[in-house]
Structure 1
Amino acid sequence: MSILPGAGWWAGLPPAAGAAVMATGIISVALHLTGHATSSLIALVIAVALWLALAFDFTARLVGDRGRFHAEADTPAALTAVAATTVIGTGISLLGPQTVAAALLALAALLWPGLLFNVVAHWRSRMPGGAFLGCVATQGLAVLAAVLAAAGGPAWLDRAALAAFCLGLLLYVAALVRFDLREVAGGAGDHWVAGGALSISALAGSKLTASPLWSGSAHMALRTVTLVTLALSLAWYAVLLTAELRHPRPRYDIRRWATVFPLGMTATACLSVAGPAGIAWLMPLGEILLWIAVAAWLFTVAVLATSLVAARHPARRESPPR
């Protein structure tokens, strides 16, 4: 679904717009991990502003347009509400306000079961990349719970994070068997979530691996699964990037934000896995991937702005000769 032109374009955005919050928020997290505190804060402020606008629109539809709300709640993109909330919560937790981050985890956990049930119930064969958002939303809960546990939260948060991590992996497999591989060459942007879902799984795994709650064979198992998911996500990255170069899709589509999010998430996963896994070269790789993601974010913003200007000021057709 493309962005709607006109004065009320923001109110006309579909749930897929939540990917813009996810993309901006995870780039903020990656910038924080690489020591770019000011840039990270700016990105987080933008992400929070977008989240608040979408939350207002979400509530307005729930109260004033139940038909549209229920129709959109059945689509995979509805799960961006959960994923975006967890990404914002993770960014806020890194800054220190753990109470706010915990409240966002509670909100995401409240939204998650109903939306996930509705979405999974409407799964079909040959799904686009949005099918992987069930995994992304679930792993987002795992990441935020583990981050809060590491910041001094109760131990049950780590156990809840492990449960969400395992469920997220199962949801990935379930989505993969339904994923239409033709999307790799012709998808509008959300096909990148096939790799991004593995990246956020690796991020969740890195947080669990770093937890002192797990030791011995449990720690080794978590480390192994984390490295496997990260390796698979990097393989997806290479495949999807190659497909983009061979089959360019230059026209703006709101689902392009679901391309920027996996780019940023893969960078964040590399940066986060490096320490707990003891693999130093993942840090410079993560930094390179981060700047690719930042460039993609800026480019997508520029294309969005250009499309909005074009929609508001369409070129006048030349008058036919008399």
Structure 2
Amino acid sequence: MNIVPFSPDQPHRTPNLDRVLHPDLKMLSPAYFGMVMATGIVSLAANQIGLLSVAWGLFVIALIAYIVLWGLTILRISRHRNRFFADMIDHLRGPGFFTMVAASSILGSEFLILANNLVMGFALWIIAVILWLGLTYTIFTAFTIKEDKPPLDQGISGAWLLAVVATQSIAVLSSLVAVQIEQPYRLDLNFLALSMWLWGGMLYIWMMSLIFYRYTFFRFSPGDLSPPYWINMGAMAISTLAGSLLIINSEDAPFLHSIVPFMKGFTIFYWATGTWWIPMLVILGIWRHVYKRFPLRYDPLYWGAVFPLGMYAVSTFQMAKAMGFGFLDVLPTTFSWIALMAWTLTFCAYLVTVFRLKKEQ
């Protein structure tokens, strides 16, 4: 990170603010809100295994990161507007913007579950819905009408499933807010949650078909296996969580109660699909870093690998609660600890990277 040096010939020259705040603000990854997603869901995973102080500590970190990233994003829009909007319609970088939606929803869920703060939870719900509407119809419209498009193997990755995660995150937060408000708005929010849950599932089927086709019929190098491919599992885990919360809420919404068998079937379907991905992703990771010796170094995209682990822990816990699957109790505890370790390693790597950049100033 370079700061413009003071020179006697330029006594009034000040450091470039972009370089002071971020080593490359112009190229700031839109997926960096994945850090908030990962920290927030690991916080909730820690809470469910009784680590309350850890949960609150991670909550504070997630909140600070959310505020800082919004500050950097606003600064980037003001100073590099063309680059910002070019990223939004880029096939590889554009889906990363959906981390803004999911980060807002997960932070709102933390305010409801940990702080019991409905005002902040509802405010973040509004932000998430507005972002989802704006980003969904901007990004996918642009992808449809733009003239220059990359071939499938160069234009799609696991990051596209962040659109599914964003959609399901609104379903989750809507279900949590619905519990704390009175009728008739409780029915409205539960219906919105159900609609988003169903749409997110359909979106996963569309996108996963393309991703799996890219997996199996195109050349696959270690560099292609970026960390967001863990979203293959994370998208199913958050779909499981949304379905579980809808089942729990069914007593307060007659239209949900009438379709409980349907919701249970699809929730197990989502969970089973996400579970299938875990060994596959581990094997591919070993192939990438051990067999192919691809270097393992910090990348903001690794937050996209931490998030699915925490989400799997939380979603399995809620599914077991909603359906009385006590025999699954060992999984939420095990994956909560795995997610905590993964978050700690990634955060330490982040700090090392930051300190190294400071030394290079």
TM-score (norm 1): 0.90
Comparing 6-15 and 275-284, the one that deviates more: 6-15
Secondary structure of 2:164 counterpart = helix
Report the Cα distance in structure 2 between the residues aligned to 1:147 and 1:205, rounded to whole angstroms: 12
**What is aligned with 1:168?**
200
Mapping for residues 30-179 of structure 1, pairs under 5 Å: 30-74=45-89, 75-94=94-113, 95-121=115-141, 122=143, 125-126=152-153, 127-153=156-182, 154-179=186-211
Secondary structure of 2:181 counterpart = coil
Structure 2 residue identity aligned to 1:288: T
Report the Cα distance in structure 2 between the residues aligned to 1:276 and 1:157, rounded to whole angstroms: 19
Once the 2 structures are TM-superposed, how far is the Cα of residue 242 of structure 1 from its aligned partner? 1.9
Secondary structure of 2:298 counterpart = coil
Assess, with a 3 A threshold, how the Cα gap between structure 1 residues 78 and 291 changes in structure 2: closer, same or farther.
same
Once the 2 structures are TM-superposed, how far is the Cα of residue 57 of structure 1 from its aligned partner? 1.8
Aligned residues: 310
Assess, with a 3 A threshold, how the Cα gap between structure 1 residues 68 and 287 changes in structure 2: closer, same or farther.
same
Once the 2 structures are TM-superposed, how far is the Cα of residue 309 of structure 1 from its aligned partner? 3.2
Larger radius of gyration, structure 1 or 2? 2
Secondary structure of 1:24 counterpart = helix
Assess, with a 3 A threshold, how the Cα gap between structure 1 residues 60 and 219 changes in structure 2: closer, same or farther.
same
Mapping for residues 1-322 of structure 1, pairs under 5 Å: 7-9=20-22, 12=25, 13-74=28-89, 75-94=94-113, 95-121=115-141, 122=143, 125-126=152-153, 127-153=156-182, 154-179=186-211, 180-181=214-215, 182=220, 186-211=224-249, 212=251, 213=253, 217-248=258-289, 249=294, 250-313=296-359
Assess, with a 3 A threshold, how the Cα gap between structure 1 residues 237 and 78 changes in structure 2: closer, same or farther.
same
**RMSD between aligned residues:** 2.1
Percent identical residues? 28
Structure 1, unmatched stretches of 5+, are 1-5, 315-322
Once the 2 structures are TM-superposed, how far is the Cα of residue 215 of structure 1 from its aligned partner? 5.5
Question: Do the aligned partners of 1:24 and 1:44 also contact (CA within 8 Å) in 2?
Answer: yes
Secondary structure of 1:152 counterpart = coil
Report the Cα distance in structure 2 between the residues aligned to 1:167 and 1:275, rounded to whole angstroms: 24
Once the 2 structures are TM-superposed, how far is the Cα of residue 184 of structure 1 from its aligned partner? 8.4
Assess, with a 3 A threshold, how the Cα gap between structure 1 residues 282 and 10 changes in structure 2: closer, same or farther.
farther
Structure 2, unmatched stretches of 5+, are 1-18, 145-149
Report the Cα distance in structure 2 between the residues aligned to 1:193 and 1:172, rounded to whole angstroms: 11
Secondary structure of 1:252 counterpart = coil
Question: Do the aligned partners of 1:184 and 1:191 also contact (CA within 8 Å) in 2?
Answer: no
1:159-194 Cα distance to aligned partner (Å, 9 max, x none):
000000011111111211222324888422111111
